């Protein structure tokens, strides 16, 4: 679903004027992203990224970094929100689940002792009872000292609740990807075409042999403080690596072929319908999935090369993990020519 735009405008706002126009309506710590047209997706990597196609988005503000533990704590303190990972699952919602598994918790990465079959992710993911945003690695862990790290173990409903409280929304996949590219339309990464230009690590990703050998050459083996790496061309941090980020779009297995047949460039696309997001490999499980973007600190050259703006991943809305977070957007009315 989308509106149509027949004009391939590159930028609707002069990037040099972003800050001066970001006054009313934009909260502290947000960046105004110029609207425009860009090539979304990729035909060179995973099939779900194809086909690449032109998309137009209107101007919007976006958080300059993922929501942090400190920011999420304030939300919880003011609202009393209890996250999905802190709630005990109901047997009626998970028929067939063993009774001892119906406890509050979340998925935590645990590196195996050696090489494993990369087709079986269960060898490095464990469901930890008691793991949640306050205890990111399960009982005995705590967020003390990492207030400036991205909040994790947030399911889609938690990200949406925070956004509503903050007077914001979650970005669409198109908005997120446009912002991540930082005006480098067509580049492989958010900073250019080399993963480590001049040997410099530009994002928190995995170095070594995933999932058992993490060399930590970028300085981090888990999450990193937000803004630890350089911003992209729009002045936005951590769009790549560190944590995956929720978007508001329902997931489809690939970008629809209809976009290449359309009479005009899709404007502000919203993705497929909810009922189209179910996993076809699990016909008896009707849990809708949303699009995650950006990759995480667990993305490695030998596995999940999704530390790119075009990359995308399906995540069931009832799932929380130690490597998924989010950021928010504020949309503004389309500027008329006289206002630009």
pLDDT of residue 8: 32
CB 86 within 8 A of CB 186: no
pLDDT above 90 covers what percent of the chain?
79
Q: Phi/psi class of residue 166: alpha, beta or left (left: φ > 0; alpha: ψ in -120 to 50)?
A: alpha
Tens of pLDDT, residues 110-167:
999 999 999 999 999 999 999 999 999 999 999 999 999 999 999 999 999 999 999 9
**More reliable by pLDDT, 238 or 6:** 238
Q: pTM of the prediction?
A: 0.90
Range of the domain at 311: 1-340
Tens of pLDDT, residues 60-69:
999 999 999 9
Total number of domains in the chain = 1
- Helix-helix angle 156-165:69-79, to 10 degrees: 70
Tell me the average pLDDT across 252-270.
Answer: 79
Neighbour-count burial for 7-19, b at 16+ CB within 10 Å, e otherwise? eeeebbbeeeebe
Tens of pLDDT, residues 114-128:
999 999 999 999 999
Residue 113's CATH number: 3.90.1580.10
């Amino acid at each position: 679903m989308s509106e149509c735009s027949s004009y391939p405008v590159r930028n609707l706002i002069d990037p040099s004027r972003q800050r001066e126009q970001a006054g009313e309506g934009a909260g502290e710590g947000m960046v105004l992203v110029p609207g425009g047209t860009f090539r979304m997706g990729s035909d060179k990597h995973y099939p779900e990224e194809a086909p690449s196609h032109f998309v137009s988005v209107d101007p919007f503000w976006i958080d300059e970094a993922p929501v942090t533990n400190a920011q999420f704590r304030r939300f919880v303190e003011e609202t009393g929100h209890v996250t999905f990972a802190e709630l005990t699952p109901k047997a009626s919602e998970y028929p067939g689940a063993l009774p001892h598994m119906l406890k509050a918790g979340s998925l935590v990465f645990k590196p195996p002792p050696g090489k494993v079959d990369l087709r079986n992710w269960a060898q490095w993911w464990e469901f930890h009872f008691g793991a949640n945003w306050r205890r990111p690695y399960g009982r005995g862990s705590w967020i003390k000292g990492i207030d400036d790290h991205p909040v994790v173990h947030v399911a889609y409903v938690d990200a949406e609740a925070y956004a509503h409280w903050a007077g914001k929304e979650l970005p669409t996949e198109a908005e997120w990807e446009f912002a991540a590219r930082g005006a480098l339309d067509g580049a492989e990464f958010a900073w250019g075409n080399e993963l480590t230009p001049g040997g410099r690590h530009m994002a928190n990703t995995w170095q070594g042999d995933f999932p058992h050998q993490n060399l930590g050459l970028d300085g981090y083996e888990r999450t990193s403080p937000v803004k630890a790496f350089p911003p992209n061309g729009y002045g936005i941090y951590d769009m790549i690596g560190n944590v995956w980020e929720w978007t508001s779009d329902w997931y489809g297995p690939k970008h629809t072929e209809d976009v290449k047949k359309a009479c005009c460039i899709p404007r502000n696309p919203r993705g497929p319908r909810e009922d189209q997001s179910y996993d076809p490999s699990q016909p008896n499980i009707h849990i809708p999935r949303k699009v995650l973007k950006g990759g995480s600190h667990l993305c490695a050259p030998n596995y999940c090369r999704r530390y790119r703006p075009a990359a995308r991943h399906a995540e069931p809305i009832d799932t929380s993990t130690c490597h998924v977070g989010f950021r928010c957007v504020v949309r503004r009315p389309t500027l008329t020519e006289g206002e630009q």
